[in-house]
A and B are shown apart, each in its own frame.
Chain A
Amino acid sequence: EAQVTQNPRYLITVTGKKLTVTCSQNMNHEYMSWYRQDPGLGLRQIYYSMNVEVTDKGDVPEGYKVSRKEKRNFPLILESPSPNQTSLYFCASRQGGSYNEQFFGPGTRLTVL
């Protein structure tokens, strides 16, 4: 089944404790992205990647890191999480081309205490 998977789905952590949210897609897509979704603010892009070893900042990259060492994986790293990073996070992927559908993972609900 073609899909984007994220782990963990739910995470409660404390300020300053480094964490990684994994994202993997099995569709051989070139593009991958991370978004956060907050009430009243909608979906905001954190980082995106156009291919292996090619990443760029989105609208809200502060406090996050990413890497794209393999085409299928695009982990999101929070080196020192803070309470303002409490949010619902979505990973997404798509093939190149203007109208190719973007597929989203199921989301990771992160709470930073």
Chain B
Amino acid sequence: RKEVEQDPGPFNVPEGATVAFNCTYSNSASQSFFWYRQDCRKEPKLLMSVYSSGNEDGRFTAQLNRASQYISLLIRDSKLSDSATYLCAVRLGRGSTLGRLYFGRGTQLTVWP
């Protein structure tokens, strides 16, 4: 079973729409959670970390549900520039796997005018 599962999409939405991505993780010892953005054929870049209490950065809101073992990303008022692939990532908190960051396969988002 994969450590991190993510709906690959694609999601195609009009400008101004609200879109949500979910990601589930299998290991309850997971400690740190992230959303990365990857533009076509470029390196992933950190979009935001996901904290237990949830956090917001402008139009982006990230939530963590430890009981159900999933994280979510909500994008409000989508812009054309939001078109990219969004990767969730999970890091275990202890032992020899402390250095490992597990990624989902990514969800492709296209925002159309």
In the assembly, what is the distance between CA of A92 and CA of B99, in Å? Answer: 11
B43 within 8 A of A: yes
Q: Which of A40, A90, A99, A106 contacts B105 (CB 8 A)?
A: A40
Tell whether, in the assembled complex, residue B87 and residue A42 are in contact, meaning their CB atoms are under 8 Å apart: yes
Type the 1/0 row for B40-63, where 1 means its CB is closer than 8 Å to any CB of A: 011111100100000000000000
Chain A residues in the interface with B (C-beta under 8 A): 31, 33, 35, 40-43, 45, 48-50, 56, 58, 88, 90, 92, 98-99, 101-102, 104-107, 109
25 contacts between A and B (CB under 8 A): A31-B99, A33-B100, A35-B103, A42-B87, A42-B103, A42-B106, A43-B44, A43-B87, A43-B103, A43-B106, A45-B102, A50-B98, A56-B99, A58-B100, A88-B41, A90-B43, A90-B44, A101-B46, A102-B89, A104-B43, A104-B44, A104-B45, A106-B42, A107-B43, A109-B41
